């Protein structure tokens, strides 16, 4: 960005051009908001002096401004187990975005004018919001159903947040059973979101059964490498899953 757009200009002073991209215009819009608010106050009733946000060369330090502007959410219960365990970090990251409602769903992109439809890319039945994807989407539900059968879980009737609450209430968070169920859920969210991305970017649609088989295969591979059974019950559980 610095090489291609900013070049020798001063980011804090350069003007926005008509043919600039939507992304760049958004960045410039945020910059203008920062410039207009930082000097006096950032956020209602919170006074800030700009001096702490100046780098040694006297210019505004973007990283310090970011620290002031970014919203710090309250700690959540699932934070303690989402980032550890058998799952890949990128799977956890997508789950985190989904729980925080930060995924670029079609509904969100449509509202920003960068997508011509807000319908779900996977089922086409409702607006593609996080609430739809992880509670009502027939595609995700279909994939989840296959995973439930594999995991010997009787039914899927809670939201993603509900699953996190359920995990949080489980006292056996070091057990294989807990870890493998969390792995399955993270893989479900990551891989169905990946299937959505494939459709959005014009790649082949993966039928739910194919997606489920791929998830089961991925999970088994990780279980074989990562699982540390602590008891006979854990061992029996892994055999039951075909690991
Ligand atoms: Zn859907």
**Residue ranges covered by each domain of the chain:** 2-69, 79-240
What is the dihedral sign for C-alpha 109, 115, 118, 121? negative
What's the CA gap between 240 and 108, in Å, rounded? 41
Lowest mean pLDDT among 38-47, 158-167, 222-231: 38-47
Which has more pLDDT, 22 or 119? Answer: 119
Neighbouring C-beta atoms of residue 120, cutoff 10 Å = 24
Q: Which pLDDT score is estimated for 179?
A: 92
What is the distance in A from the centroid of ligand 1 to the CA of 132?
6
| pLDDT for the residue numbered 159 | 87
Span of 51-60, 107-116, 124-133, 197-206 with lowest mean pLDDT? 51-60
Which pLDDT value is given to residue 52? 60
Given a cut of 70, whether residue 46 has pLDDT beyond it is: no
Q: What pTM was computed for the model?
A: 0.73
* 41 Cα–ligand 1 center, Å: 42
Tokens (6 digits) for 238: 């892994």
Residue 44, pLDDT > 50, answer no
Under the banding of pLDDT at 50, 70 and 90, the label for residue 58 is low
Q: What confidence tier does 186 reach under pLDDT thresholds 50, 70, 90?
A: very high
Mean pLDDT of 151-178: 86
pLDDT at 12 over 80: no
CB atoms within 5 A of ion ligand 1 belong to 120, 122-123, 137
Phi-psi region of 48 (alpha: psi -120 to 50; beta: other; left: phi over 0): beta
Distance (angstroms) between ligand 1 centre and the Cα of 84 equals 29
The Å distance, Cα 195 to ligand 1 centre, comes to 11
For residue 73, what pLDDT is reported? 73
Question: Measuring CA to CA, which residue among 211, 163, 201, 162 is closest to residue 183?
Answer: 163
What CA–CA distance (Å, rounded) separates 38 from 224?
A: 52
Q: d(Cα 15, Cα 5) in Å, to the nearest integer?
A: 11
pLDDT the model gives residue 174 = 83
pLDDT-derived band at 77, boundaries 50, 70, 90: confident
Report the share of the chain in percent with pLDDT over 90. 47
Compute, in angstroms, the gap from residue 150 CA to the centroid of ligand 1: 22
State mean pLDDT over 133-142: 94
pLDDT of residue 200 exceeding 90, the answer is: yes
Choice among 5-9, 169-173, 205-209, 222-226 with the minimum mean pLDDT: 5-9
The number of residues making up the chain comes to 243
| CA 20 to ligand 1 centroid distance, Å | 33
Computed over every residue of the chain, the mean pLDDT equals 86
User: Are 96 and 73 contacting, i.e. CB atoms less than 8 angstroms apart?
Assistant: no
Phi and psi at residue 16, in whole multiples of 5°?
-90, 135
Q: How far is the CA of 140 from the centre of ligand 1 (A)?
A: 7
Identify which has the larger pLDDT, 97 or 227.
97
CB-based contacts of 160: which residues, under 8 Å, 6+ apart?
95, 98, 99, 130, 134, 135, 185, 189
- When comparing pLDDT for 175 and 97, which is higher? 97
Q: Which of 44-58, 152-166, 192-206 has the lowest mean pLDDT?
A: 44-58
- How many angstroms does the Cα of residue 238 sit away from the middle of ligand 1? 32
Q: What is the pLDDT of residue 43?
A: 45
């Amino acid at each position: 960005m610095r090489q291609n757009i900013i070049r020798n200009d001063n980011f804090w002073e350069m003007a926005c051009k008509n043919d600039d991209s939507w992304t760049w215009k958004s960045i410039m819009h945020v910059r203008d908001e920062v410039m207009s608010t930082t000097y006096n106050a950032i956020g209602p009733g919170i006074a800030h002096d700009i001096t702490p946000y100046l780098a040694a060369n006297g210019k505004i330090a973007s990283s310090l401004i970011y620290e002031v502007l970014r919203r710090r959410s309250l700690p959540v219960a699932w934070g303690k187990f989402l980032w550890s365990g058998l799952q890949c970090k990128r799977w956890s990251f997508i789950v985190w975005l989904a729980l925080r409602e930060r995924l670029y769903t079609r509904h969100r992109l449509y509202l920003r004018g960068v997508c011509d439809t807000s319908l779900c890319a996977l089922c086409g039945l409702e607006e593609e919001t996080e609430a739809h994807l992880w509670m009502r989407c027939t595609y995700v539900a279909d994939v989840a159903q296959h995973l439930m059968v594999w995991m010997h879980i009787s039914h899927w009737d809670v939201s993603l947040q509900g699953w996190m609450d359920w995990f949080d209430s489980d006292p056996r968070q070091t057990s294989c059973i807990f870890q493998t169920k969390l792995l399955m859920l993270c893989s479900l969210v990551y891989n169905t979101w990946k299937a959505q991305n494939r459709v959005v970017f014009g790649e082949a649609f993966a039928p739910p059964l194919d997606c489920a088989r791929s998830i089961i295969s991925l999970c088994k591979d990780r279980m074989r490498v990562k699982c540390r059974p602590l008891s006979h019950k854990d061992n029996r559980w892994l055999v039951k899953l075909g690991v």
